[in-house]
Amino acid sequence: MNSTAAAPRTLAAGACCSLAPAGGAARAEAAAPPLAKAAQIAVLCVLCLTVACGILFLGCNLLLKVESLAAQLAPERRLSRDADLGAEGT
């Protein structure tokens, strides 16, 4: 039996997910032009801002819904107190 065929094949860390050559991701990242890095940073910033604004708007929307529900319940509570006072007075 051939010893090279029986040995398991080892992959470099991150080689399965990287499009970089077998030399590693560090060499490919160092060779990236500054414009490509700036574009990646800009896209990341836009995505982060989009997520932050989405969370903010969803949170504000939930607060508005809670306020409107509380406003709907407030007159009902007042009416029930008035009804109780009127019933006791007769």
Does residue 18 carry a pLDDT above 70? no
Burial of 86 (0-12, 13-18, 19+ CB in 10 A): exposed
Could you give phi then psi for residue 5, rounded to 5 degrees? -75, -30
Does residue 54 carry a pLDDT above 70? yes
Residue 70 confidence (pLDDT): 83
CA 61: distance to chain centroid?
17
Task: Report if pTM > 0.95.
Answer: no
